Amino acid sequence: MNVEKKVIKMLKLVGFDKFGFAQIKYFKELEARYFEQEKKKFKTLFQVGNVDKKTFKNENIYKSAIVVLLPYKKFESKLNENIIYVSSSLSNFDYHVVLKNKLMVISDYLESMGYTAKIYVDNNELDERYLAYKAGLGFYGLNHLLINEDYGSYFFIGVILTNAIFNYGNPLNKKCAMCGKCLESCPNGAIKKSGDFNGNQCVSYITQKKILDECEKDLIGQCIIGCDKCMIICPHNNFVSHSNTSIEPLIDIYKYSSLSNKEFKRKYGKYAFSWRGKKIFERNLNIYKQKLAKKQKL
């Protein structure tokens, strides 16, 4: 059994249904995209690493990217204005831990066969979405999210870079419907008709920033960490299943009391949204409470 068949077998054993292989090379197309983004000042502070690292411009030891998708359910519900919530991706258990634990099995297996292997899950210099695209795991939407034919946009991405060589996937011969619904639903105009995306205007990014100006504060709504509007409205996501149970991050703002950092971590530490800590969470909550109080006085 060759290395590819062995790795595929292991990927299935640890529970991955969607995975692919992308060849690591100098991605000139991606480099041009990033230079254009920086020129227009669309890059956010969360995009770490320089363009050379993202595009593998310099010679490096890795030949392949093993890319996996981990699906999650979307949360959608009619809420009264006294209830706050966080976005679907962040209301799930911390996917960083789940993905890393699963990928560690594959990484250890590769290393046992004499290959190098390094795990990447979010918060790194890679463009994981682009690698998933190159591996044939999805196509780009107008909102710049990747769309998988089975998971829609509701999935997390994990990557292992390795010097093992595989049969590589190809980008899908499929495109976004370009209906414009995501553009119309975007609260702050981050999605552009031109096809560009300004991450600094994305409400999901804004809700997680450390410092907000008054205009940005106006964008804080019931979803106080993240924003799912462009995903919920997307017709490519119509078939994605909803969460059928109440999730803890639904919080009645009149029952919420100030928690110590230790209490916050104990109550919410298992959820992905807690990565920004209590301070950001409570700031956004208070902004929404103030807006609601003003509305109720009218």
- Asked which of 110, 129, 162 is the last residue of a domain, the reply is 162
- Token pair 């789940």 in the structure block, residue: 98
Does residue 55 sit within a domain? Answer: yes
Q: Which two tokens stand for residue 119?
A: 């795990």
Q: Distance between CA atoms of 176 and 235, rounded to whole angstroms?
A: 10
pLDDT at 243: 56
151 and 26, same structural domain? yes
Q: What is the pLDDT of residue 80?
A: 75
Residue 217 lies in a domain: yes
Beta strands in the chain (DSSP E): 18-23, 64-71, 83-86, 117-120, 139-140, 146-147, 155-162, 223-225, 251-252
> Are the C-beta atoms of residues 237 and 152 closer than 8 Å to each other?
yes
DSSP tag of 116 = -
Q: Do 46 and 133 share a domain, yes or no?
A: yes
Question: Is the confidence at residue 270, as pLDDT, over 90?
Answer: no
| Same-domain check for residues 139 and 256 | no
Residue 290 gets the label, from left (phi > 0), alpha (psi -120 to 50) or beta, of alpha
In a domain? residue 171:
no
- Provide the pLDDT confidence category of residue 68 given band limits of 50, 70 and 90: very high
Note if 108 is an active site residue. Answer: no
Number of structural domains the chain divides into: 2
What's the distance, CA 48 to chain centroid? Answer: 14
Kindly report, residue by residue over 154-190, the tens digit of the pLDDT. 999 999 999 999 999 999 999 998 999 999 999 999 9
65 lies in which domain range?
3-78+88-162
**pLDDT at res. 253:** 58
- Helices 3-13 and 95-112: crossing angle in degrees, nearest 10, is 150
Domain match, 185 and 158 both = no
Please indicate, yes or no, whether residues 151 and 279 belong to a single structural domain of this protein.
no
Distance, in Å, from the CA atom of 110 to the CA atom of 205, rounded to the nearest integer, reads: 36
Question: Same domain for 151 and 185?
Answer: no
Residue 219 has pLDDT above 80, yes or no: yes
Helix, strand or coil, per DSSP, at residue 20: strand
Domain limit, last residue, from 112, 134, 162: 162
Phi and psi torsions of 183, nearest 5°: -65, -45
Q: Is the domain of 213 the same as that of 115?
A: no
- Strands lying side by side in the sheet with 117-120: 18-23, 64-71, 155-162, 117-120
Q: What is the mean pLDDT of the chain?
A: 89
Are 267 and 216 within one domain? yes
Catalytic residue among 17, 94, 122, 218: 122
- Do 46 and 120 lie in a common domain? yes
Residue 173 lies in a domain: no
Residue 205, domain member (yes or no): yes
Return the top range by mean pLDDT from 20-34, 242-256, 269-283: 20-34
115 plus 239 within the same structural domain: no
Tens digits of per-residue pLDDT, 39-59? 999 988 888 888 999 999 987
Residue 170 domain-assigned (yes or no): no
Q: What digits encode the pLDDT tens for the residues 70-110? A: 998 887 666 777 778 888 888 777 888 889 999 999 999 99
C-alpha span between 161 and 65 (Å, rounded):
5
Mean pLDDT, rounded, for 224-245: 83
Percent of the chain with pLDDT over 70: 92
Decide: helix, strand or coil at residue 148.
strand
- Looking at 99, 129, 162, the residue that finishes a domain is 162
Is residue 199 in a domain?
Answer: yes
The answer on 245 and 201 residing in a single domain is yes
Whether residues 146 and 190 share a domain: the answer is: no
| Span between the terminal Cα atoms of the chain, in Å | 71
